[in-house]
Amino acid sequence: MPESLPDALPILGSSAWRYRLERHWARLPRGWNFDTDESIGPPRAALKGGVAANGDVYVLSRSAHPVCLFDASGRFITSWGEAAFSVFVHGLSIAPDQTVWITDSGTHAITVHEPSGKPIRTLGTPGVPSPPLYAKPLNMPSDLAFGRDAIYVGGRDGLSIWTRNREPIIRWGADEPAPGTFNIHGIWLDAEENIYLAHFDRAVSKLTRLS
């Protein structure tokens, strides 16, 4: 049994790796939730989040209030993005400049927002998927990661690498049944900018950057 504090919050781990679990840390306004009626679309749950430089926490969900913002104590601050995304909205990432990037698989586009939610720009053409074997993204983008000099985007159309000026550099691994195919669910980088990919077929692969 996990050790418990007097307030009954469980302690997980041991030695230097001990954590207090607060399962319902994010306190939404009364009547709000991260899950709604699944009969009208895909599962609508909390999908992904990000922590801003000031400690505020963003949570993306497939719900009536897609982006919710909380302070470090879990207190609700605000929400934005109502009716702005599809029911297949997929990922949220915070850039080094603190802009918020939303990958929307349903619209085949990526939108960039100020922390307040104000739209700044769009990558891709909303509602117009790129053909999977064509050289230009985007087709069902699911996730992205920020490198030192580039942005890495994963989705049904494989992996594409963009400059900081939002120009695509290279793309490979389109959605065809062949060796080297990438149908990407998640993407992240390490300090050397090696690329790790979580695929929809439950595999995880690594692309080692060569000098």
CATH class of 24-207: mainly beta
The C-alpha atoms of residue 145 and residue 188 are separated, in whole angstroms, by: 6
The C-alpha atoms of residue 152 and residue 83 are separated, in whole angstroms, by: 27
For residue 132, the model assigns a pLDDT of 60
Taking only the tens of pLDDT, the chain with its 211 residues reads: 455 444 567 888 989 999 988 888 999 999 888 876 555 555 556 788 999 999 999 999 988 899 999 999 999 999 999 999 998 999 999 999 999 999 999 999 999 999 999 999 998 889 988 876 555 678 889 999 999 989 999 988 788 888 877 777 777 765 454 545 677 889 999 999 999 998 877 788 888 988 7
Candidates 75, 65, 64; CA nearest to 26 is 75
Candidates 169, 175, 111; CA nearest to 144 is 111
For residue 173, the model assigns a pLDDT of 64
For residue 165, the model assigns a pLDDT of 74
The domain limits of the chain are 24-207
For residue 39, the model assigns a pLDDT of 53
For residue 17, the model assigns a pLDDT of 92
SS3 labels along 114-149: CCCCCEEEEECCCCCCCCCCCCCCCCCEEEEEECCC
The C-alpha atoms of residue 161 and residue 103 are separated, in whole angstroms, by: 15
For residue 157, the model assigns a pLDDT of 79
